[in-house]
A and B are shown apart, each in its own frame.
Chain A
Amino acid sequence: MLYFLPTHEYARIEGNVATIGISEFAAHQLGNVVYVDMPEEDDEVTKGEDFGAIESVKAASDLFSPVSGTVIEVNEALVENPRLVNEDPMNNWIIKVEMSDPSELESLLTPEAYEKVCEAEKH
């Protein structure tokens, strides 16, 4: 299952684990990513609160977590090569989170609803 926040983070759900990254739309809007500021393993994240930031040349954008839980993995490949996010953001995820409250997913956007958010931002 795939969900989104209006702030352009996605959460791909497998079992109790959410794989979190940013959408194609956001990766394109940002331009070249030069740094991804990530939490560490075992850090707690909270739904709707920032867990890190993604930096392009121009600006730093906070990353918001779609779910609450514990970080079980960070994508170390982004440390050396943050531009992987530009190349394939849906596969080059940022963190994986063990969810503490899967019922939170109900309030996230479906891919169809998220598509409408992007359309609105284009205008």
Chain B
Amino acid sequence: MSEDLKKTCLHDLHTGLGALMSPFGGFDMPIQYDGIEQEHQAVRNNCGVFDVSHMGEVAVSGPDAERFVNHIFTNDVTGLPDGKVIYGMMLHPTGGVVDDLLVYKRGDNDFFLVINASNIDKDVEWIVSHAEGFDVKIDHQSDHWAELALQGPNAEKVMADVLGLDGSDLGFYTFKTVGDIIVSRTGYTGEDGFEIYADAETIRKYWQKLIDAGVQPCGLGCRDTLRFEAGLPLYGDELADDITPIEAGLGIFVKLDKPEFIGREALAVQKAEGPARKIVGIKVEGQAIPRHGYEVLDADGKVVGTVTTGYHSISLDKNIAMALIDAKSAALGTSLQVKVRRKVFPATVIKKRFYTPNYKK
């Protein structure tokens, strides 16, 4: 293991469980414990727990906090009720994505931003460098917070029974604070579930209680297969500095009717003209699995884009992918081809929400 990799507060517990560890976002993270398929099925059918302490946290407060978050964020936090969570992106002036993130509204001019591990340094620098002229306090708290994601149809019951935390009063994308602990009904799996933010000591205690109670530990391997089936983007695959939310099909999280935010002009133009390329879902015939970076061709064999994420879907038992391709080839039902090593396989454009999420209403 490279010495500059960071460890979460649960690292020794992962290796103790025999997890396969691998670098992700600058951290040495568990990829799988008992196998990606078993862990994936646990989340779809029962409940699984993930260490997501690698995620970054930034608190933004002060008299101009709401105005500032609206300046750097695509979604609209104006008048957002306390206890609401909202998803969106920070953009470059070009419309490319600095990062996608969750914003927690804790109180008047009091926000909690949750950012991707791989982008922590870039994001904090971005946020701080755009705060000039705003009366805000920006507090980078990633070193304080550890985080668990408890995901699956039985997550509410498990959280109550094992951790004594009641989530029954939380609707989807809301949160509450219990002492110093933040509990939100959020996740990245397409299932109901919760994310719990607390200090390292508390998270270690919670993790061990859940494992002792027989809850399936889940690694980043199945986190990726789960989010992929639900059509959720991963920064670095479907979102990047040179991919816009319009191209990624995430326009509903971009409020162009807000008076201003960084990247607004570029996206308004792109939306009006229509993007030149789009993220689509594709289904590939045959046994070959489309993987990140493989070429996508049109029916005539011309390269029209590349696969951003692809798997043999565990829940759907099909070979499917998300791909960034020319908008001309992006209509549902369009016949395409995917190049898998030496061979070319027929493919069809389908909806990219491959699996219908089971979120709590």
**A interface residues with partner B (beta carbon < 8 Å):** 31-32, 34-35, 37, 52-53, 55-60, 79, 82
A55 touching B289 in the complex, CB below 8 Å, given contacts A31-B35, A34-B312, A37-B340: yes
Closest chain-A Cβ to B49's Cβ sits at a distance in Å of: 20
* Interchain CA distance A4-B202 in the complex, whole Å: 48
- Nearest 10 pairs of A and B residues by beta carbon: A57-B36, A34-B312, A35-B287, A55-B289, A58-B221, A31-B35, A60-B291, A35-B289, A32-B37, A58-B36
Are B311 and A59 closer than 8 Å at their CB atoms?
A: no
| Residue B65 is within 8 A (CB to CB) of chain A in the complex | no
User: Digit string of B319-361 for contact with A (CB within 8 Å is 1, else 0)?
Assistant: 0000000000000000000001101000000000000000000
* Interchain CA distance A32-B225 in the complex, whole Å: 14
Closest to A29 in B: B20
Are B32 and A31 closer than 8 Å at their CB atoms?
A: yes
> What are the residues of chain A within 8 A of B225 when measuring CB–CB?
57
* Interchain CA distance A62-B75 in the complex, whole Å: 43
> What are the residues of chain A within 8 A of B287 when measuring CB–CB?
35, 79, 82
Interface of B is mostly: mixed
A59 touching B37 in the complex, CB below 8 Å, given contacts A34-B312, A37-B340, A53-B341: no
Q: Which of A31, A53, A79 contacts B36 (CB 8 A)?
A: A31
Q: List 26 A-B contacts (CB under 8 A).
A: A31-B32, A31-B36, A32-B35, A32-B36, A34-B312, A35-B287, A35-B288, A35-B289, A35-B312, A37-B288, A37-B340, A37-B341, A37-B343, A55-B312, A56-B36, A57-B37, A57-B221, A57-B311, A58-B31, A58-B32, A58-B36, A59-B291, A60-B291, A60-B341, A79-B287, A82-B287
Closest to A52 in B: B341
Interface size class of B (residues with CB under 8 A): 10 to 19
Which parts of B31-82 form the interface with A (CB within 8 Å)? 31-32, 35-37
| Residue B182 is within 8 A (CB to CB) of chain A in the complex | no
* Interchain CA distance A120-B291 in the complex, whole Å: 29
Closest to A82 in B: B287
> What are the residues of chain A within 8 A of B221 when measuring CB–CB?
57-58
Are B314 and A57 closer than 8 Å at their CB atoms?
A: yes
> What are the residues of chain A within 8 A of B289 when measuring CB–CB?
34-35, 55, 60
Beyond A57-B225, A60-B341, 10 additional pairs, beta carbon < 8 A: A31-B35, A35-B312, A37-B288, A37-B343, A55-B289, A55-B312, A57-B36, A57-B37, A58-B36, A60-B289
* Interchain CA distance A55-B310 in the complex, whole Å: 12
> What are the residues of chain B within 8 A of A32 when measuring CB–CB?
35-37
